[in-house]
């Protein structure tokens, strides 16, 4: 792909290139994906063979509307992952001034820029100037910063007056939806929700945009029918309706996040930040720790222009916890 490369989590090929001597199997802590996946239901051959039916596609959107507390199914657009929605949105609007509250997930700025918009990463909401589009990730990736719903509603109102959009990427809101804009969707807001992170099924590719009708019509038009695969529709709608699984996953991952904090605490310079699915470590020794972990086959997320930060996803098995603990112990 002839594009500027962005660093992403999840690419173990990159890990193996950087640390060719590291022991296998690699422990991948570089993503914010739940390491304990929702159990994929049996997938009959017909789900692979046949085109997904329009009724099943709509039922996936209905399941998402229920799970997220959206006002109506009509506001929900299912897509093969949130990324394609992030990539598409900038193509659905004439060149605009786009403000992105950062630092945050880099694909937002990248996508708006590639589509020809004038993009500024702003460090604070006091610096909105004359933007036509505001993008916020809430809670934020990687630092977990959470904007209040009231503040978002106020912003949406300001942008509405100038014909602008408010894009709220709620990729990590499933486990803590207290400030979600979902139940009070403003008429110029686009909310993004990821399925794969919470449910540990990122390979299936499911994501949602929730927005009022003029925007959903454009998105459905750009995606066309059948954009989501049959297996994804089947697993997705079952998972989204399983409230019990979500509740127990929340509890278990919260405990994991606390356990991870306890391990990282003595390396950290400042209190750990993040969400239940990832923790952000700030330390002048971050680069050194990145190499120590890499040498031992543990891949964490570093940041191109912020070398003092490392983001840790949650280990999965006891063996993974022990290997991580061993590196951290020997590091201090």
Q: How far, CA to CA in Å, does 3 sit from each of 6, 83, 306?
A: 9, 16, 21
Name the residue nearer to a second copy (CB basis): 88 or 146: 88
Tell me: does residue 4 bind a second copy (CB under 8 A).
Answer: no
Tell me: does residue 252 bind a second copy (CB under 8 A).
Answer: no
Tell me: does residue 245 bind a second copy (CB under 8 A).
Answer: no
Tokens at 228, concatenated: 């989501």
Which residue, among 246, 242, 253, 240, has the nearest Cα to 70 in the 3D structure? 240
Among 40, 120, 146, 184, binds a second copy (CB under 8 A): 40
Tell me: does residue 243 bind a second copy (CB under 8 A).
Answer: no
For CA atoms 270, 193, 157, 219, the dihedral sign is positive
What is the smallest separation between the CB atom of 28 and a second copy, expressed in angstroms? 8
Name the residue nearer to a second copy (CB basis): 45 or 161: 45
Tell me: does residue 32 bind a second copy (CB under 8 A).
Answer: no
Name the residue nearer to a second copy (CB basis): 201 or 289: 201
Which residue, among 274, 72, 262, has the nearest Cα to 172 in the 3D structure? 274
What is the smallest separation between the CB atom of 51 and a second copy, expressed in angstroms? 4
Kindly tell me the burial class for residue 247, based on how many C-beta atoms sit within 10 Å of its own C-beta (0-12, 13-18, 19 or more).
Answer: exposed
Kindly tell me the burial class for residue 130, based on how many C-beta atoms sit within 10 Å of its own C-beta (0-12, 13-18, 19 or more).
Answer: exposed
Among 107, 179, 295, 320, binds a second copy (CB under 8 A): 107
Which residue, among 88, 117, 120, has the nearest Cα to 104 in the 3D structure? 120
Backbone angles phi, psi at 227, to 5 degrees: -75, -25
Among 53, 72, 248, 254, binds a second copy (CB under 8 A): 53
Tell me: does residue 69 bind a second copy (CB under 8 A).
Answer: no
Tell me: does residue 235 bind a second copy (CB under 8 A).
Answer: yes
Distance in angstroms (rounded) separating the CA atoms of residues 302 and 30: 8
Residues 76 to 95 in contact with a second copy, rule: CB under 8 A: 80-81, 83-84, 86-88, 91-92
The number of residues that bind a second copy (CB under 8 A) is 63
Pairing label, strands 301-302, 165-169? unpaired
Distance in angstroms (rounded) separating the CA atoms of residues 169 and 190: 8
Tell me: does residue 225 bind a second copy (CB under 8 A).
Answer: yes
Tell me: does residue 64 bind a second copy (CB under 8 A).
Answer: no
Tell me: does residue 158 bind a second copy (CB under 8 A).
Answer: no
Tell me: does residue 31 bind a second copy (CB under 8 A).
Answer: yes
Tokens at 30, concatenated: 């570089």
Tell me: does residue 304 bind a second copy (CB under 8 A).
Answer: no
Name the residue nearer to a second copy (CB basis): 163 or 224: 224
**Helix-then-strand count for the chain, H and E:** 12, 13
Distance in angstroms (rounded) separating the CA atoms of residues 187 and 156: 8
Tell me: does residue 315 bind a second copy (CB under 8 A).
Answer: no
Stretch that binds a second copy, among 137-145, 217-225, 249-257, 262-270 (CB under 8 A): 217-225
Distance in angstroms (rounded) separating the CA atoms of residues 181 and 165: 14
Among 7, 18, 51, 95, binds a second copy (CB under 8 A): 51
Tokens at 76, concatenated: 């929900």
Distance in angstroms (rounded) separating the CA atoms of residues 240 and 251: 17
Name the residue nearer to a second copy (CB basis): 21 or 46: 46
Chain residues that interact with a second copy, rule: CB under 8 A: 1-3, 8-13, 28, 31, 33, 37, 40, 45-55, 58, 74, 80-81, 83-84, 86-88, 91-92, 107, 111, 114-115, 196, 200-205, 213, 217, 220-232, 235
């Amino acid at each position: 792909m002839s594009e500027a490369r962005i660093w992403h989590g999840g690419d173990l090929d990159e890990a193996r290139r950087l640390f060719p001597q590291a022991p296998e199997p690699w422990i991948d802590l570089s993503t914010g994906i739940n390491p304990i996946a929702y159990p994929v239901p049996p997938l009959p051959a017909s789900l692979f063979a046949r085109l997904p039916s329009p009724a099943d596609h709509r039922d996936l959107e209905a399941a998402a509307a229920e799970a997220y507390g959206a006002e109506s199914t009509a506001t929900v657009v299912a897509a093969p992952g949130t990324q394609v929605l992030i990539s598409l949105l900038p193509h659905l609007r004439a060149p605009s001034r786009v403000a992105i509250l950062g630092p945050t997930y880099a694909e937002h700025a990248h996508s708006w820029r590639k589509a020809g918009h004038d993009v500024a990463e702003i460090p604070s909401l006091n610096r909105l100037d004359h933007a036509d589009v505001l993008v916020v990730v809430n809670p934020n990736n990687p630092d977990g910063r959470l904007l209040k719903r009231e503040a978002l509603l106020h912003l949406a109102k300001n942008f509405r007056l100038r014909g602008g959009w408010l894009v709220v990427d709620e990729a990590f809101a499933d486990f803590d939806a207290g400030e979600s804009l979902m139940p009070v969707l403003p008429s110029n807001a686009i909310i993004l929700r990821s399925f794969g992170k919470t449910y540990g099924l990122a390979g299936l590719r499911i994501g949602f945009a929730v927005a009022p009708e003029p925007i959903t019509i454009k998105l459905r038009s750009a995606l066309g029918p059948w954009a989501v695969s049959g297996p994804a529709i089947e697993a997705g709608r079952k998972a989204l309706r399983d409230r019990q699984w979500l509740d127990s996953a929340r509890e278990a991952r919260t405990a994991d996040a606390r356990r991870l904090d306890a391990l990282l605490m003595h390396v950290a310079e400042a209190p750990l930040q993040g969400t239940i699915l990832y923790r952000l470590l700030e330390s002048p020794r971050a680069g050194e720790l990145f190499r120590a972990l890499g040498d031992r086959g543990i891949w964490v997320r570093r940041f191109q222009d912020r070398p003092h930060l490392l983001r840790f996803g949650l280990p999965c098995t006891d063996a993974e916890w022990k290997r991580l603990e061993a590196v951290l112990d020997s590091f201090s």
